[in-house]
């Protein structure tokens, strides 16, 4: 089940709409449909990786590109100095719902710790 296509494949393939804010050859960033902060973007690899557990050693650079996307986007929207949070949920206890790995980018308000 985890290896199957998700809604994010449809977003990558433009089969369903999404508000894309960032795109490279390998990474897509789009606004979360149910934002948990004034700014809530999801950065995903265009290639499907179900969870953190499924990352291959050869995909280390791709994972780095997700963080570089967050860095560049924060600067682009002028939230880099204010600060932001990135989160990646893994499997059930981590609160993962969509089994296409994604980096949540949250900004525009004071974050709390610990997260729920
Ligand atoms: P997870 O719980 O797997 O870490 O996060 C999945 C995220 O995907 C949630 O924040 C949810 O709101 C978002 N999401 C689910 N379906 C869609 C969709 O069709 N479009 C967009 N833009 N976001 C979605």
pTM score of the predicted model: 0.97
Q: Write the residue with the smallest CA distance to atom 12 of ligand 1.
A: 34
The preferred substitution site among 44, 49, 97 for testing ligand 1, maximizing ligand atoms within 8 Å of CB, is: 97
Give residue 116's pLDDT band: very low, low, confident or very high (50, 70, 90). Answer: confident
Which sequence spans correspond to the domains of the chain? 7-107
Check whether 24 has a pLDDT greater than 90.
yes
Give catalytic status of residue 102 as yes or no. yes
Distance 35 CA to ligand 1 centre (A): 9
> Three-class SS of residue 30?
strand
Q: Which atom of ligand 1 is nearest to the CA of 18?
A: 22
CB atoms inside a 10 Å sphere around CB 98: 13
Name the residue with tokens 């059930």.
Answer: 92
CA quadruple 25, 31, 32, 37: dihedral sign: positive
CB atoms inside a 10 Å sphere around CB 103: 20
Cα angle 87, 33, 89 (rounded to 5 degrees) comes to: 25
Distance 33 CA to ligand 1 centre (A): 6
Q: Write the residue with the smallest CA distance to atom 18 of ligand 1.
A: 33
Domain 7-107 -> CATH class: alpha beta
pLDDT in tens, 29-87: 999 999 999 999 999 999 999 999 999 999 999 999 999 999 999 999 999 999 999 99
């Amino acid at each position: 089940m985890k290896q199957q296509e998700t809604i994010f494949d449809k977003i990558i393939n433009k089969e369903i709409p999404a508000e894309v804010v960032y795109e490279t050859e390998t990474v897509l960033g789009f606004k979360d449909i149910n934002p948990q902060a004034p700014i809530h973007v999801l950065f995903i690899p265009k290639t499907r990786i179900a969870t953190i557990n499924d990352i291959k050693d050869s995909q280390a650079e791709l994972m780095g590109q997700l963080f570089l996307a967050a860095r560049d986007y924060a600067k682009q929207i002028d939230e880099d100095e204010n600060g932001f949070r990135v989160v990646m949920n893994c499997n059930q206890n981590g609160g993962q719902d969509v089994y296409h790995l994604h980096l949540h980018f949250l900004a525009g308000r004071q974050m709390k710790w610990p997260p729920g």
